[in-house]
């Protein structure tokens, strides 16, 4: 059974700057654009904090590499969809109980630094 979500430990992957095909307008689909991704992985890290063993924790480097590979190959119309796909990559690791993903698209609006979407997904019971 999953732990109380408020008591889970967290690993943050901050400011992952990538390029991908993103956008709904024809001019946005001509070349890759910048996105800025932040991910918070929630899980129980107690065993790793005592053992020093990578096998006892979430391998955040491996997750980062899977995120990079997926994003750089992606061709999404919406940042919401890209964020959802990133959560799916993260939840492939059974130790992750919850993931929070934000995707910023710099320059999406003329008078704003960026537009961002943040989504939260929990592991379903039985997964």
- Residues with active-site annotation: 105
Give how far Cα 49 sits from Cα of 27, 44, 91, Å: 48, 10, 21
* 34: its two tokens: 């910048």
Query: Would you call 17 exposed, middle or buried from its count of C-beta atoms within 10 A (0-12, 13-18, 19+)?
Result: exposed
Q: Which residue has the tokens 């992952």?
A: 16
Contact in structure between 76 and 40 (CB atoms under 8 Å): no
For the chain, what is the largest distance between any 2 Cα atoms, rounded to a whole number of angstroms? 52
> By the 8 A CB rule, do 63 and 93 touch?
yes
């Amino acid at each position: 059974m999953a732990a109380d979500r408020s008591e889970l430990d967290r690993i943050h992957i901050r400011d992952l700057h990538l390029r991908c095909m993103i956008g709904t307008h024809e001019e946005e689909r001509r070349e890759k654009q910048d996105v800025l991704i932040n991910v918070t992985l929630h899980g129980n890290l107690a065993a790793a904090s005592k053992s020093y063993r990578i096998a006892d924790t979430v391998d955040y480097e491996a997750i980062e590499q899977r995120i990079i590979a997926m994003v750089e190959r992606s061709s999404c119309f919406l940042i919401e969809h890209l964020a959802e796909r990133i959560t799916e990559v993260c939840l492939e690791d059974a130790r992750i109980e919850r993931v929070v993903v934000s995707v910023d698209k710099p320059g999406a609006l003329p008078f704003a630094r960026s537009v961002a979407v943040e989504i939260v997904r929990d592991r379903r019971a039985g997964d």
